[in-house]
Amino acid sequence: MSNPTKEPASKQFTSTEATSSSHVYPNTEKRVVSDVYFGQTIDDPYRWLEDDTSEETAEWVDKQNAVTFDYLDTIPYRDELRARIAHAQDYKKSSQPFVRGEYTYYYKNDGLQNHSVLYRVKEGKGQAEEVFLDPNTFSEDGTTSLGSVSFSKDHSLVAYTISEGGSDWRKIFVINSETKEQLEPEIVDAKFTDVSWLGSKGFYYSSYDKPDGSQLSARTDQHKLYYHELGTSQDKDKVIFGNAEGEQHRYVTGYTTDDDDYLIILGQESTSGNRLFYIDLTSASTLEEAQPFETLIDHVDSDTYVIDNQGDTFILYTNLDAPNGKVASFNTRTKQWQDIISEKPQPLEISTGGGYLFAHYMVDVVSKIQQFDYQGQLIRDIQLPGEGTASGLRGKKEHKQLYYTFTNYVTPPTILSFDVDAGESNVYQKSEAPFDADLYESKQVFYTSKDGTKVPVIISYRKGISLDGSNPTILYGYGGFNVSLTPSFSGTVASWLELGGVFAVPNLRGGGEYGKDWHKGGTQQQKQNVFDDFIAAAEFLIEQGYTSSETLAIRGGSNGGLLVGACMTQRPDLFKVALPAVGVLDMLRYHTFTSGEGWAYDFGTSAQSQDMFEYLLGYSPVHNVESVSYPATLVTTADHDDRVVPAHSYKFISELQDKHQGESPVMIRIDVNAGHGAGMPLNKVIDLTADMYAFTLFNMGIQQL
């Protein structure tokens, strides 16, 4: 075994022909349940695996894991890979600092801690840092993670959330910020929530009524906004929004303005578009006497939210009649709208700090930032260290020193401080990642998709590689929900590059990289565009000599898991390895689990119309597995995933194991006591990454590193 701390050679794979072998999978019984959609009968033989509370399902999970881990144990360099990946993560990592009261707070991980620790330092020279919250102490096995941390307006109190076992359900704890003493029993069963304080008297949070049946998979539909007054029990919490007619929404968010004058309420039916309401809190001595909410946006045709206020004037982001986004003001007294920052050709994100607006634009997926005053006057273009992703530049109005992070695929993150008045950036903290960026390059090129659309892809690799089609390559994608894949450094990706691999990320339609039209171009009955873009990226990499069908793996998670599942069933000949993670794979039934119906803006549903049903049936991975040879496949999921329930993955692998005609393994790796991915302890991340890389390389014929 080679030393994982040694700098890898530029070419270090030893390949032979992969040995064919038979794989014996657990018998998955077919119990056909049939559904009728618009007169067409669809069989669902593995419906029983949807019951995540049954002993039968648990036994099936154990048997599948036994087969998978027995196979992974045979890969001779699996332990070496884990050591390499752990080494790539073993360095001090810190977040951008933020100031609350007399303290500066920041998250820090000393290296291989499962979770980053929240520290603070008091103002003044020589003050020692102290641990404020350490999620590594929340559970013995590291499966309980820290979520959001919210300070009261006077900074004397803190409400923080935790997730247990990776679940989206949260508990909320309230502590004294000085003594860190817990002040009252925790709030339980909160979900998809922020915590927003009203002064220091209480706070707003969101949740659903507890569902009937499984808490992990049963449908959750009606979201509600609650107010919790400190010193009272949770059963006394008042429903502020979500009970009355006209208030029903799948997702509800509430937050107060910094001056506590207004409560802002967003109501969403899906993951795109929201109604916008507000409550004037200034004319009431108690919450019960507050004025009823007023409607600012009465439809879900835009994403619109309040980012700040100046007295009775709201400052808002909106993409209403501006697909790429703009900043506008709305006066609550005169009801007048006015543009502040007009729409530009590039998609906009906005942040505030130091009394300024910071417009973050994506120009061909690369960050550009401009600073404006609140009247929309351009102050300056902010000079960034290079081409990549800059994030941050947010803070309170009184904070004149802000922070941002700059990174790309081969540049470990650097934190910079920014003087909002002078416009000067200075390095605040450099990364300590054990990665020599000078040995690698990352370049963006454009390729042509099936319908002629130009799509960007960023390809990262070690300098000097041969374009002879022999390079093990991971093609990673997402393509949905207006999510933009901007270049950022990852220790796990760095490990792949150090091994001599190529890592390529195309910016597919369905994402937000080119604004709302780019997003819409990959939704509902245009979803095939996303798959075509991904397939075209694979063909481009092969044509250019980066890789071949014998050395190409595809990877994606969640909506990206759907992407991998659809592409491997449509073009099984094109890829050597497929790695669908926590994927949405049963497109006829996804909307019947947890809050899945909220994804209908992107996917449509099988109940929507006959045309939509037929379109979904045409690409749904579970329903399009045939008796052909598929790539070596490692499906990954977790038994506590209550976002994309693991039944998607269970049913998909059952179909593959039943019908796959080739010799390549088709297996599933199921993490126990883990969820959709957020808050996963680092040791589990390292284990999962090592297993994916080992499976990938071994099935490309790599016998030793």
In this predicted structure, what is the pLDDT of residue 10? 33
For the stretch 361-394, pLDDT in tens is 999 999 999 999 999 999 999 999 999 999 999 9
302 Cβ partners below 8 Å, 6+ apart? 273, 274, 318, 319, 320, 321
Q: What is the mean pLDDT of residues 246-274?
A: 93
Cα–Cα distance measured from residue 365 to residue 362, given in angstroms and rounded to the nearest whole number: 5
Catalytic residues: 558, 676
For the stretch 652-674, pLDDT in tens is 999 999 999 999 999 999 988 66
Gap between the terminal Cα atoms of the chain:
9
The tens digit of pLDDT for each residue in 532-563 reads: 999 999 999 999 999 999 999 999 999 999 99
The pLDDT value recorded for residue 290 is 57
| Per-residue pLDDT at 82 exceeds 60 | yes
pLDDT of residue 529: 98
Task: State pLDDT tens for residues 424-466.
Answer: 999 999 999 999 999 999 999 999 999 999 999 999 999 999 9
Q: Identify the pLDDT of residue 594.
A: 82
Give the neighbor-by-neighbor strand order of the sheet with 666-671: 440-448, 454-462, 502-506, 473-476, 552-557, 577-581, 632-638, 666-671
- Hunting for tokens 């404020």 — which residue is that? 132
C-alpha of 282 from chain center:
37
At residue 237 the predicted structure's pLDDT band, cuts being 50, 70 and 90, is: very high
Return d(Cα 203, Cα 264) in angstroms, integer: 13
* pLDDT for 643: 74
Task: Please check whether residue 192 is in contact with residue 595, taking contact to mean a CB–CB distance below 8 angstroms.
Answer: yes
pLDDT at position 217, please?
55
pLDDT of 1 over the 60 cut: no
pLDDT bucket at 63, cuts 50 / 70 / 90? very high
**Between 641 and 103, whose confidence is greater?**
103
β-strands 348-353, 356-363: how paired? antiparallel
Contact 67, 410 (CB under 8 A): no
CA distance 602 to 220: 19
The pLDDT of residue 11: 36
What pLDDT is attached to residue 291?
Answer: 65
Give pLDDT, residue 4.
Answer: 32
- pLDDT of 165: 82
The phi and psi torsions of 318 (rounded to 5 degrees) equal -155, 150
Tell me how far CA of residue 254 lies from CA of 192, 242, 353, 468, 558, in angstroms. Answer: 11, 11, 21, 55, 26
- Say yes or no to pLDDT of 18 above 50: no
pLDDT top residue among 508 and 16: 508
- Model confidence at 222, pLDDT cuts 50, 70, 90, reads confident
- This prediction has a pTM of 0.93
What's the whole-number average pLDDT of the chain?
A: 92
pLDDT of 264 > 80? The answer is yes
- Cβ of 323: how many Cβ atoms within 10 Å? 17
Average pLDDT over residues 118-132: 92
Closest CA to 111 of 683, 690, 694, 695: 683
How confident is the model at residue 677, as a pLDDT?
61
For range 143-172, the mean pLDDT: 93
Q: Looking at residue 211, what is its pLDDT?
A: 67
What's residue 5's pLDDT?
32
